[in-house]
Homo-oligomer: A and B are copies of this chain.
Amino acid sequence: MSAEGTGTGRLGVWLVGARGSVATTTILGALAVRAGLSGRTGLVAELPEVAAARLPALDDLVFGGHDIGCDPLVKRAERLVAGGVVPADLLPAVREELEAVEARLRPGYDTSAVRTGSGETQAEAVERLAADLTAFRIEHRLDRVVVVDVASTEAPVELGDSGALVDPVALDAALAAGEAPLPPSSAYVLAAYRAGCPVVSFTPSPGPRLPVLSAIAAGHGLPWAGSDGKTGETLLKSVLAPMFATRGLRVNAWSSFNILGGGDGATLADPDRAASKLDSKGTGLEAILGHPVQGPMHIDFVPDQGEQKTAIDHVSFEGFLGARMSLQFTWTGYDSALAAPLVLDLARLTLRAHELGESGPLPFGFFFKDPAGPAGTTPEHRLAAQWDALVAWCADGGAR
């Protein structure tokens, strides 16, 4: 057993959206840290309270993934260097390994091809994606593989009347009939479950949150974690809102302005897709405060921001005797640099959960804007309470 983790073998991390900024930073970062070129700042899994779970070592991870694009990883990495996310000197040192990962990437599920009639059915796609996962596991002799969705945000879906998004039998029937009932993010999850892989949903896309997938995960006894990585504005809300609440201060208005460039910015310039993000961002604040709060939430695409994301929030609150006071903050960060270490953390935690035989939604709300939990429970949004829950799970996991 290695000092760092259980180290019982090699483990796979399969990234959906493997050529995106977050995925590229994740892979490149893991390689750089392993090579001793970069420190472990930002990796929650390296904190003693979390490492206590006896997590797999970074060294044990093998990366692969799906993507519908074909920009080489090295090119994406160069863009991250230009954008200031990644130091210029890292790339040459890990280029060879990056190319090895490149060779393991497989074509994703391209619904635009489906729409034009040239593509496969959804049933075929799911089968193909699952086969890719199985091949990856066998080829690299991996004990287990976790599938992490870091692809572009999709629009929300309605459950509809067909039952296909609720009931596994209805879903099978729809797939068999050549229909495409699932949004792509959920098709990847179905493929993962069929291949026996646990899942992490790092985006606000439907993914594993559909009732039908929840049921399938339970049926397979697979654990999953989600959704929507909490990296900036919402992270701050999850510590500031409890501060106001426990001090008995009344938050009257919380206006949130986000400007971002990069691929994420362009995606969110599409109002349909932004809806998922805004839903996900909006839930926590009012849940913590226990009442509605005025104020807009905007996400604007400003290409000049490059890889940087700036969140500007203005909060009006009321104190004793009705005194009117305010808090304003500006958070300036690199989205990928904030997300990538959490992807590695979640991959390691979820692999460990799988090893421990856990099933269903994992108590990893600490990482998420819209934390999944057991049906019927109210999600916890307060960061400190989420941390306590994570630490408790890790202590327990380490003891087993």
User: A90 to B243, Cβ gap below 8 A?
Assistant: no
Q: A295 vs B257: C-alpha distance in the bound complex, in angstroms?
A: 12
User: A29 to B320, Cβ gap below 8 A?
Assistant: yes
A117 to chain B, nearest CB (A): 38
**Nearest B residue (CB) for A230:** B247
For window 240-293 of A, CB contacts with B under 8 Å fall at: 240, 242-243, 246-250, 252-253, 255, 257, 259
Residues of B within 8 A of A39 (CB): 322
User: B44 to A248, Cβ gap below 8 A?
Assistant: yes
A37 to chain B, nearest CB (A): 9
Q: How many copies does the complex hold?
A: 4
For window 40-90 of A, CB contacts with B under 8 Å fall at: 40-44, 46-47, 84-88, 90
Chain A residue total in the interface (Cβ 8 A): 74
Q: A363 vs B304: C-alpha distance in the bound complex, in angstroms?
A: 36
A87 to chain B, nearest CB (A): 6
Q: A305 vs B253: C-alpha distance in the bound complex, in angstroms?
A: 8
Contacts A304-B294, A330-B327, A341-B248; A314 near B312 (Cβ below 8 A): yes
User: B314 to A310, Cβ gap below 8 A?
Assistant: yes
User: B323 to A334, Cβ gap below 8 A?
Assistant: yes
Check: A385 CB closer than 8 A to any chain B CB: yes
A235 to chain B, nearest CB (A): 7
8 further interface pairs, Cβ-Cβ under 8 Å (given A44-B248, A255-B259, A327-B330): A38-B322, A44-B246, A44-B247, A85-B321, A242-B384, A296-B300, A296-B302, A319-B334
Shortest 9 CB-CB contacts between residues of A and residues of B: A384-B384, A323-B337, A42-B320, A329-B329, A325-B333, A296-B300, A252-B304, A253-B304, A320-B341
Q: Could you give 12 example pairs across A and B, Cβ below 8 Å?
A: A38-B321, A41-B319, A42-B247, A235-B243, A236-B243, A239-B239, A239-B240, A294-B302, A319-B341, A326-B332, A327-B331, A383-B384
